[in-house]
Each structure stands twice: as C-alpha cells, then as structure tokens.
Amino acid sequence: MAANSWDSFEKSKKALEDKPAVSYFERYSSPHTHPGGSVLRTLLQKTRVLVNFFIRRLAQGPGRQQALQPLAELAGSAAGKDVLVIGSGPSATAVTAREVAKRQKAGELIVVATNYFLSSPLATSITPDYLVWSDSVFSPMNRQHNAKAWEALESHPSVTVVAPWTWRSVITTMTLAERFVYFDNDTVEGWSSNVSPLKPRGYQGSTGVKALAVALHLSPKQVFVIGLDLSYFQQFSVDADNRVLRQPTHMKNTDSGVQDIGKDGVNGIADTLYSTANQFLALRTHFTGRNIINLDPHSLVDAFPKVTEHPLVKKSGRKSAAAAN
C-alpha cells in the first residue's frame, strides 16, 4: 500500500467529517445509530457499510495480502494449548497472575491482551504474547499524542502487536517493525458472518472482540476470556447540557477518562444504548458456539458458557470485580 495514498485519503476524510453537514450525515447513516424503525434509514445504513468498504479498498491500494501473511502463518499455532484473552474491563483484575505465568512458561497457555494492558498493574506480573491494537489512538500516525502506550511497548520486547494492516507503511519505518503482525480491520458488518482477522469482519466489534477473533485464529483447545465486560454502559450519565458521558470503567491506567460519547450519534442516549446492545448482539451472532469460556460468572455477557471456579481466576477477585461493575 502506498503510504502517501492512504495518508491523503485519511486526511481528506477527516477534513470532510469536520464539516457540520457531513458530520451529521456520517452519524445519521452509521449502523451504530438507531434507525428508529425507518426502512429507508436501515437501507441507507447497510448501503453505507458496503460503499465505505469499497472506497477504503480502493484507497488502500495493493499490499494487503503481503501484509497479512505473517498472521496467516500463525493459524493453528496454538493447537493443543489454551488461549487467555484479557480485556480492559474491571473483571480482568480477578486473574491469577501466578497461574497464568506458570502455564505460559510450561507452554500450555498463550495470552492475548488489548489496548493499554502494558500500562496496567497486571503487566508487572503478566506479559502477554500478543497485544491487539485497533483504535486510532494507537495509530503510529498519532504516536506523539500517545507516547505512554508506545513507551510501554518498547519496555516489553517479547510482546507481538496485532494491528490494522493499514498502519504497516508507517510501522515499517520504525525500529519496532519486526514485532508487528497485521489483520484486516475493515468491516462489512451486517453483510457477513466472518470472524477471521484475515478478512473484513462481519460484526460491530471493540478491540476486545477483535482479540477474541485473533485468539480463535490460533486454533487453541480452548479460549478463556476475562475483562470483556461490556459493563461501561452502567457508567453512562447525562449532564445538565444533555451531553451523554461515559465515566471511567476500565482497569487502572487503561482508561481514557470521562468521554463525551453522545456526539457519535444523533439521538443522544438512545443511540448510545443501541450501539452498546449491538456489541452484545455481535457476540451472540458471531461468536456463540465456539470454544470460548467466560471466566467471570457475574459477567453481563451471556454469549458464552461461564465457570464459577477456575485456577486462572481468584475466588475473592471474582466477587470484587462483580462489585466494581
């Protein structure tokens, strides 16, 4: 992919989205906002997904297959092992770090973490094998604005980062380039049942859900998940100016603070809750029936079987994590 071509596309897109009329249309036609029962708006949202996909593919140019090859070669690399996916939700603090480290050392367990995990207290005792980044805040183009995350990565040299392939043209110029493998971060949500990270995803997904897809790609005996709580909606609030705010909900040092999330929709908290519901729905429609076990028995996620006792999770930790939610 030509870096100049993609950078120009991203800058042009951002300039357009800054225009009020374009911004409103982007939010109105987003599949993450409630169509309000309108057939025409539903059709618009679904059409937009496909149009955006094809525009992005044209702007990206060649190089996708080559970029994805290292991740493709990891398919089946966890055969005979288990994979633990650690999200950023509060239940992640219930992990038994000593047990995780012991199983990693024995070659029985692979750990996949997300986002700011390397800055969390857990990172002092658990070193993930893979760290999944997909949010634009982690993009190498924004590195100067998120130095903390990149510094943490530099201090954990054994961690492999799984990132969108569109970042590759910039990352290949960095000293950390050999530590990155790439996935396809494009979406055709609503049009596909795909969960493979080598193809456009068919679901609305946070980074934690994408990490699940990466874990499944490794073909382990079992995928265990903790910290994929989706409980952040319990911390929504609406202020005197009717701004929809999300209070911090993630593990210590892994949250972005108070966020004005209502601006992403057109119908305030209704759109915010609708988008959240779609996250739960994506887990049921795309990930149910796979070898995934939820280690948090108090989790709101009902797409996977749960366990009430497991060596990877502290008994007391489960209770405190539930209370934190």
Q: Which residues lie below 8 Å from residue 129, measured CB to CB, with a gap of 6+?
A: 104, 110, 111, 112, 158, 159, 160
In the structure, what pLDDT confidence band is assigned to residue 202 with cuts at 50, 70 and 90? very high
β-bridge pairing 259-260 and 82-86:
unpaired
What are the b/e assignments for 104-120, b being 16+ CB within 10 Å? beeeebbbbbbbbbbbb
The answer to whether the beta carbons of residues 308 and 94 sit under 8 Å apart is: no
| Region at 243 (left for phi over 0; alpha for psi -120 to 50; beta for the rest) | beta
* Residue 17, pLDDT above cutoff 60: yes
pLDDT for the residue numbered 260: 85
Backbone angles phi, psi at 266, to 5 degrees: -120, -15
Right CATH for 3-324 from 3.40.50, 3.90.1480, 3.40.1350, 3.55.50: 3.90.1480
Alpha helix stretches (DSSP H) within the chain: 3-17, 20-28, 39-60, 64-72, 97-105, 147-154, 168-171, 207-217, 268-286, 315-324
Q: Tell me the DSSP string of 174-234.
A: STTGGGEEEE---B-TTT-----TTS-BSS---HHHHHHHHHHHT--SEEEEES----GGG
Amino acid code (one letter) for 26 = E
Q: pLDDT digits over 54-107, tens only? A: 999 998 988 999 999 999 999 999 999 999 999 988 899 999 999 999 999 999
In the block, which residue shows the tokens 């004005």? 260
Q: Domain residues of the chain, as ranges?
A: 3-324
Amino acid code (one letter) for 107 = G
pLDDT for the residue numbered 7: 63
pLDDT for the residue numbered 232: 84
d(CA 53, CA 78): 31
β-bridge pairing 236-238 and 222-226:
unpaired
pLDDT for the residue numbered 4: 54
pLDDT for the residue numbered 9: 65
pLDDT for the residue numbered 130: 98
β-bridge pairing 259-260 and 244-246:
antiparallel
Q: What is the mean pLDDT of the chain?
A: 89
Q: pLDDT digits over 154-201, tens only? A: 999 999 999 999 999 999 999 999 999 999 999 999 999 999 999 999
Structure tokens at 237: 């609030």
* Residue 45, pLDDT above cutoff 80: yes
- Tell me the CB-side half-sphere exposure of residue 98, using CA atoms within 13 A: 2
Mean pLDDT within 285-310: 94
The answer to whether the beta carbons of residues 134 and 164 sit under 8 Å apart is: yes
Among 4-18, 24-38, 213-227, which stretch is predicted with the lowest mean pLDDT?
4-18
Q: Which residues lie below 8 Å from residue 243, measured CB to CB, with a gap of 6+?
A: 260, 262, 263
Q: pLDDT digits over 111-167, tens only? A: 999 999 999 999 999 999 999 999 988 999 888 878 889 999 999 999 999 999 999
